[in-house]
Amino acid sequence: MKTNSQILQLAVKYHRANRLNQAEQSYRQVLKHQPENPEALYGLGVLAQQCGKPQIAEELLGNALSVQPDLLKAWFSLGNLHQTQGELTKAQSAYQQAIALKPDIAPLYNNLGYALQEQGKLDEAIVSYQKALELEPNCTEADVNLGNTLNTQGKLSPDKQLYYAQLNHKLGVAREQAGDLQNAITCYRQAINLQPDFAEAHYHLGVALQAQGKLEAGIDCLQTALQINPNYGEAYMCLGLIYQTQQRLNEAAAAYRQGLKLINPHYAAAIESKPVSEFVPEEYASPQLELGEVTVGNYQFPAIPPVPASEQKRPFFSVIIPLYNRKDYMLECLASVLAQWQGEEEMEILVMDNASEPPLYDLVNAIGGGIVHYYLNSENIGPRRNFNRGIALSRGEWIHLMPEDEYVLPGYYSRLKSSLAGCPDSVGAAFTGYENINEKRKVVFIQKHQGMNKGINQNWLQRIGVSNPLNPCATLIRRAAHERLGAYDLVNLYTPDWEIYKRIASFYDWWCEPEILARYRQHSHNMSSEVFLAGAQGEYYRMGIEISESYLPEEYCAEITAKSRHIYSHRCLSEVAIPLKVDNLAGAFRLIQAALKIDSSAETVGKLFTWLATEEAAPLRNAIASKLISKSANDSNSEETLKNFYFAYP
């Protein structure tokens, strides 16, 4: 059993890792045994402030100080809380209490100075900032605040105004990178106040306002930046993103195009040399390809033919972007690739339009005309056949298949080429770290591939074989691996990417580039959302496991498959809540069936029945009870009843 001291250490660890629920539980566990533990009270107070509960935070911090009046960090946090709430006199008092306890901490004087400044006590604020800089000469925030206060008094020379404008901007960038948008915006506005023609400050203010969802204000700032510096390519790119968010897609395409011309000279030269062409569907019809089959294990997969012999040099990359009707994020995806395009010998870009209605040629051409190869299918052939058709048409040594709602970050292709150009032929695929973002562009998940080193990792098959930590936007596949092992399975509609990754890992090494270089977007209109609401993913989890079981290396097959079945059966049970939220009982039943088909062990069954007893499972539990009650007692044990019972395991 853990001691209170150990529980408190664990709470602090959870808190620092931003695991706030576990931190709160641990703090409260300490207080259950020691109601006046000042560290636990302080921790809960800070946590309450983080969660936007200022009154509770003030009460808890006050309780901590009543127990331990010399708890410096509690006075500091209380001062910050009061300042955030606009209670400047109380903030001033709290900071002064902290300074009385330890008069040699620069941030205390800086924060006290700001509380005084906001009250109009400028001379006292200046003294406090100067004291902070005396204690810590490199305290940027105190230096910035001192300059802003002196400027308010009209005491800055033009040179000093320029210096402090740049310092405000630098601090704003640091705040924005730390996710503190509000203080970043304050810094950018101070920089503009000091130097009105500071284009970078206007640009970064526009970016920060866009991130807050204040789109029109963001547009105004970006347009001001462009008035000051008409060649500011990044400002055009951000304008394109805002117009895209507003569904002003023609304006978005024009902004992206102008931005790309300014930031990528290869792009500028290519589009200037080729006029924008009219759309003639017949000219862009994708070839009708009949792909053969290749057998791997006990299964057949579509075969990819070798690249036809030609005197033309093969590009290093083939980027394939499949389209079908959706255009909300397509321009951003294309722009992220075109920004890194280094010429036809380096990269070809294939857009595979799967019979969109109307065709998406005009938008693609508006940004990629002269560079992008646009193919239009005469009919919808399904997403996987569309993927495979793009791979078969490609000529690059490395294939990057990227859905149109995902995108790459700067440096993706250059970083991978520097690694893969000299890698051994044993490497059949590569991957980078990535982030998931939501519809508001907030990062909701980071995949850094912990424990993986840059280069070839010998334990990769055991990791990818058990579960899938990848997303297509972060993955490259060597075309030669496709030629040997085939393309995407046409039967597996949800996990074909995981299956093909396992297939390649069974015969090739993989290259790891751990840096975050791509982004996957979670939104309500992607295929995953539809599948999860229908509860259909479990059947494909099982399919992916059973296919790979036929070709995994014999020495690893049993262990990998057993672990995978365990993980995915439990994942099915955890995902039952998704169809339940939309009252889709059939989808919930389907997931439970899939869980038991994947793994019918006592542990899985036990977990299922434990979950069925929870409040969350009440709708499903009631449906099961109703189904059983509706059967007459006479046939309750009949073969027909067992056949119709949803939990019958075949």
Contact 489, 547 (CB under 8 A): yes
Q: Which residues of 304-315 are buried (b: 16+ CB within 10 A; e: fewer)?
A: beebeeeeeeeb
Kindly report whether the peptide bond that precedes residue 383 is cis, defined as omega within 30 degrees of 0.
no
Instruction: Look up residue 440 and give its two tokens.
Output: 């508001």
The yes-or-no verdict on residue 118 having pLDDT over 60 is: yes
Query: How far apart are alpha carbons 477 and 399 in whole angstroms?
Result: 5
Q: Does the pLDDT at position 650 exceed 50?
A: no
- What per-residue confidence (pLDDT) applies to 629? 62
pLDDT digits (tens, 9 = 90+) for 300-336: 999 999 999 888 899 999 999 999 999 999 999 999 9
CA 324 to CA 360: how far, in whole Å? Answer: 8
Say if residues 499 and 510 touch (Cβ distance below 8 Å).
no
Dihedral sign of CA atoms 469, 475, 481, 486 in order: positive
- Of the listed ranges 197-201, 317-321, 357-361, 643-647, the least confidently predicted one is 643-647
| Of residues 54, 64, 143, the one with CA closest to residue 106 | 143
Given this model, what pLDDT does residue 580 score? 87
Report the interhelical angle of 122-135 vs 106-118 (nearest 10°): 170
CA pair distance 353, 251, nearest whole angstrom = 22
What CATH number labels 406-525? 3.90.550.10
Residue 627's pLDDT band (cuts 50, 70, 90):
low
DSSP string computed for 474-485: GEEEEHHHHHHH
d(CA 464, CA 369): 38
Quote the tokens at residue 41. 């009270």
Rounded CA-CA distance 504/226 in Å is 48
| pLDDT, averaged across the chain | 92
Q: Of 401, 482, 469, nearest to 432 (Cα)?
A: 469
Is the model's pLDDT at 488 over the cut of 70? yes
Is a pLDDT exceeding 50 seen at residue 245? Answer: yes
pLDDT in tens, 175-228: 999 989 999 999 999 999 999 999 999 999 999 999 999 999 999 999 999 999
Q: What is the pLDDT of residue 632?
A: 41
Q: Where are the domains of the chain?
A: 4-193, 406-525, 534-644
Judged against a pLDDT cut of 70, whether residue 643 lies above it is answered with no
Looking at residue 96, its pLDDT comes to 96
Percentage of the chain modeled with pLDDT above 70? 95
Rounded Cα distance between 245 and 235, Å, is: 15
- Residue 288's pLDDT band, with cuts at 50, 70 and 90, is confident
> Is residue 284 predicted with pLDDT exceeding 80?
yes
**C-alpha of 218 from chain center:** 22
In this structure, the chain runs to a length of 650
3-state helix, strand, coil in the chain (%, to 5): 60, 10, 30
Residue 530: predicted pLDDT = 80
Number of neighbours of residue 544 by Cβ within 10 angstroms: 24
Angle, helices 106-118 vs 88-101, to 10°: value is 160
Angle at 263 (CA atoms; ends 166, 372), nearest 5 degrees: 155
What is the mean pLDDT of the segment spanning 254-275? 93
**Tens-place pLDDT, residues 447-474:** 999 899 999 999 999 999 999 999 999 9
Nearest to 428 by CA among 489, 495, 476: 476
pLDDT value of residue 146: 95
Res 472: pLDDT: 95
The radius of gyration of the chain from alpha carbons, rounded to an integer in Å, stands at: 30
Q: How far apart are the first and last CA of the chain?
A: 44
Residue 282 binned pLDDT confidence (cut-offs 50, 70, 90):
confident
Residue 648 pLDDT more than 80? no
To 10 degrees, what angle do helices 181-194 and 140-152 make?
Answer: 50
What the block records as the tokens of 139 is: 């305290």
351: pLDDT strictly greater than 80? yes
Tell me: the pLDDT tens digits for 34-73?
999 999 999 999 999 999 999 999 999 999 999 999 999 9
Query: Picking from 366-375, 502-511, 615-624, which range would have the lowest pLDDT averaged per residue?
Result: 615-624
Please state which of the ranges 26-30, 84-88, 184-188, 615-619 shows the lowest mean pLDDT.
615-619
Report strand pairing: 317-323 vs 398-401.
Answer: parallel
Angle at 78 between CA 76 and CA 84, to 5 degrees: 105
At 418-454, the pLDDT tens digits run 999 999 999 999 999 999 999 888 999 999 998 999 9
What average pLDDT does this structure show over 477-505? 96
Residue 641 confidence (pLDDT) above 50: no
Taking a C-beta distance cutoff of 8 angstroms, is the pair 318, 479 a contact?
Answer: yes
Task: State CA 524 to chain mean position distance.
Answer: 15
Joined together, the tokens standing for residue 113 give: 């100075």
Find, among 377, 317, 381, the residue nearest to 349 by Cα.
317
3-state secondary structure of 427: strand
Overall CATH class of domain 4-193: mainly alpha
Would you state the pLDDT for residue 125? 96
CA neighbor of 323 nearest in space, from 277, 389, 273: 389
- Amino acid identity for residue 401 in this structure: L
* Whether 131 contacts 109, CB under 8 Å: yes
Q: Can you spell out the DSSP letters for 92-131? A: HHHHHHHHHH-TT-HHHHHHHHHHHHHTT-HHHHHHHHHH
Q: Is the dihedral angle over the CA atoms 534, 356, 400, 392 positive or is it negative?
A: positive
- On the question of pLDDT at 631 being above 80, the answer is no
Question: For residues 629 and 174, which has the higher predicted lDDT (pLDDT)?
Answer: 174
Residues 462 and 564 sit within 8 Å (Cβ to Cβ): no
pLDDT of 527 reads: 64
In the predicted structure, residue 280 carries a pLDDT above the cut 90:
no
